[in-house]
Amino acid sequence: MDLNEFYFLAKLATQITDSKISLITTVDNNEPKPVAEYGILFDQIPRFVSFSWQFLDSKKDIVTFQNFEEEPGFQKNRQFLPDFPIQFFLGIPIIRNKKDGLVMGHLSIFDDKPKILNQSQIQLLTEITSRISDLICQKPIELPTDELILQGRNPGDEPLSLFGSSQAISEIQKLQKELRASETAFRGNFDNAAVGMALIDENGKWLKVNKRVCEIVGYTESELMQLTFQDITHPEDLNADLSYLEELVADKRKFYQMEKRYFHKNGNTVYIILAVSMVKTEEGKVNYFVSQIIDITEWKLVEQKLKIALAKNQAILDASTLVSIITTDAEGTITDFNNGAEKMLGYNSDELIGKFTPEILHIESEIESRSKLLTSEYNQTIEGFNVLVYNAKIGKPNTLEWIYKRKDGSTFPVLISITAMKQNEKISGYLGVALDISELKKAEAEIQSLLDITNEQNHRLKNFTNIVSHNLRSHSFGISGMMDILQKSYPDYFQNEMMQLLFGATENLKLTIEDLTAVIKVNLAQENYELIDIGQVVRKNIESLALQILESKLKIEVNLSSPLLVRGIPAYLDSIVLNLMTNAIKYKANDRSSFLKISGAYKNKFVVIQFEDNGQGIDLKKHGDKLFGMYKTFHENREARGVGLFISKNQIETMGGKIEVESTVGTGTKFTVFLPYE
């Protein structure tokens, strides 16, 4: 039996049908046995045999599947050959002779593309099976007992026969088995590698790729087979890649590694790390290149964001010339010292970075004093750099006033805010931002001086008020009393016009002194604030003014929730309500029924109280800017003195509120009072 011819016939069958795989089997005890094959790895032969036998068994007719995917048992039978996508299958029985019709085996042909064979091809295949039948029926060649023949194919798919001793042949068979096992392991590692792996020819055409490569670039395996690596490489990276390949071919390097960019099928840029080595033929020519591809797109995007963030941070550090920004590592060694810190402290950043902690910028006595406070507060020894950052370390606010010491030894006050910087919830360093508050301290001292002067002036003004309220009022009442005695004792004198004028001037002086005293007392008041119910104050004043309300026929409507509380001075609030109610009585309209509506509600941080009447109204265009002025009156009313609104406005503002007015002549007036309730 000439095995060389079996392999030749197997290869010939694939060439006739333009297929990739063929298999010749014989039947022994109703079991298929492989005789020769083409295009099949050693470890794959049993699966191809099993696959064929599912359809051929002992059939005497040709079995063909032009498009295997359309067959009912496609999915079930694919399990036999998971690594080869069979689309075409042909099985031709090998018949011993026409008389007995015994099936001695089969010729099977496989391909990964659907196809239809013509009659000429079928005829040629039939002739091949006839020749195979003749070869099987021939008597095997007698061989010497100490020599064996090992028949097979070389790497170029040419028939090969080896003669030698049984021991030599066994060694060769062992080597073949190990080689096939190695090929199998390589194939498994190649296909299932976590990184992209590809075989590329010397022109850059993809020969084989694993699944990971397809995932990285978005193409299917068949789509990549139609491309070269140049087609999907970013133009800016192509020249460097080709230069490395030239050096590899010229044996100037054994391999190369580079970072480059591919274009994904969807147009996106994919960043990769590429490692390339080369496999040569025995003649020293390029067989193929082996490429390993790692997708680093996510790393690059993170890196780009990090670079942008670092650039922004550096820009902030460089631009912040008015504040000192100093960062340290977890142990306190200075790692950054911005322009503002250099300008503020007189050091160059190179003098401190990596060499000192911020303690060098502080007064030793102040560090020691603060250390004692922290040690006492937390019942543990806290000293050195920890004094500066301890509160930040335990998550407490850490903004304090300190004294900084410049390089030249001069000192100045600063406000420092220290924050712990963390990575993965672990402190990696500290950030200290300091503001020079020398001018602020100077201004604070000036303000304190002004406050002291103001307090002194207020004290003097209070004394003056006491003089006004006591001495001047005593004198004015004395004069007024003497005028009363003169009027009663000598009534005829008061028929004189001059005496009447003197009497009126005396009364006016008394009223003026009373008004001034009331105004000054408002401005200097230091009464305690209380929570007051507006409703109670309004009801109290309605009762006090009951006779005047009755005589004026004024209808009062009160719409206040109970309680409606404000934070104020009881005497002031009573005075405000009284003034606004008496104004409604004094300046009511005489040609219609009069009313006063008092309402209130909470709004934002205020209680809003409204006093709305339908009285004579005020011409705000004419008098609006002086409505709350001292001694300003706007109607012909003898009782009007122009003090009530002035005092009310001062009292409201003293309690932290404000007053607004809306008015139309002949229609009425609405006063709105805003008072805080907290």
CB 279 within 8 A of CB 287: yes
Residue 13 in domain? yes
CATH number at residue 625: 3.30.565.10
CB 569 within 8 A of CB 523: no
Answer yes or no: do 447 and 573 share one domain.
Answer: no
Answer yes or no: do 466 and 603 share one domain.
Answer: no
Question: Where does 548-593 show beta strands of DSSP type E?
Answer: 554-559, 565-568
Residue 172 in domain? no
Question: What is the average pLDDT across 330-342?
Answer: 89
Answer yes or no: do 72 and 121 share one domain.
Answer: yes
pLDDT band at 163 (very low <50, low <70, confident <90, very high): very low
- Helix-strand-coil percent breakdown of the chain, rounded to 5? 45, 25, 25
Look at the chain and report how many structural domains it folds into. 4
* Single-letter amino acid, residue 410: S
Residue 27 in domain? yes
Residue 362 in domain? no
pLDDT given for residue 611 in this prediction: 93
Among residues 138, 158, 174, the one where a domain terminates is 138
Q: What percent of the chain has pLDDT over 90?
A: 19
Two structure tokens written together for 410? 């001069």
Closest residue by Cα to residue 587 from 561, 563, 623, 562: 623
pLDDT band at 599 (very low <50, low <70, confident <90, very high): very high
Among residues 301, 333, 352, the one where a domain terminates is 301
Residue 12 in domain? yes
Question: What is the average pLDDT across 270-290?
Answer: 86
Does pLDDT of 43 surpass 80? no
Answer yes or no: do 661 and 535 share one domain.
Answer: yes
Answer yes or no: do 540 and 670 share one domain.
Answer: yes
pLDDT given for residue 237 in this prediction: 92
Based on the number of CB atoms within 10 Å of its own CB, is 9 exposed (0-12), middle (13-18) or buried (19 or more)?
buried
Unique residue bearing structure tokens 């010729």 = 107
Answer yes or no: do 548 and 488 share one domain.
Answer: no
Residue 169 in domain? no
Q: State the pTM of this model.
A: 0.35
User: What's the CA gap between 589 and 516, in Å, rounded?
Assistant: 31
Residue 207 in domain? yes
Answer yes or no: do 36 and 123 share one domain.
Answer: yes
User: What's the CA gap between 421 and 327, in Å, rounded?
Assistant: 9
The parent domain of residue 499 ranges over 442-522
pLDDT given for residue 316 in this prediction: 65
Answer yes or no: do 532 and 516 share one domain.
Answer: no
Does pLDDT of 319 surpass 60? no
* Single-letter amino acid, residue 356: F
The residues pairing with 93 across neighbouring beta strands, listed in sequence order, are: 106
Among residues 301, 333, 350, the one where a domain terminates is 301
**Over the stretch 10-27, which tens digit does the pLDDT of each residue have?**
888 898 888 889 999 988
pLDDT band at 359 (very low <50, low <70, confident <90, very high): very high
Answer yes or no: do 672 and 531 share one domain.
Answer: yes
Answer yes or no: do 48 and 114 share one domain.
Answer: yes
CATH number at residue 11: 3.30.450.40
Answer yes or no: do 554 and 461 share one domain.
Answer: no
Does pLDDT of 99 surpass 80? no
Residue 257 in domain? yes
* Single-letter amino acid, residue 94: I
Is the pLDDT higher at 4 or at 676? 676
CATH number at residue 263: 3.30.450.20
User: What's the CA gap between 252 and 245, in Å, rounded?
Assistant: 10
**Can you count the helices (H) and strands (E) in the chain?**
22, 24
pLDDT band at 150 (very low <50, low <70, confident <90, very high): very low
Answer yes or no: do 497 and 561 share one domain.
Answer: no
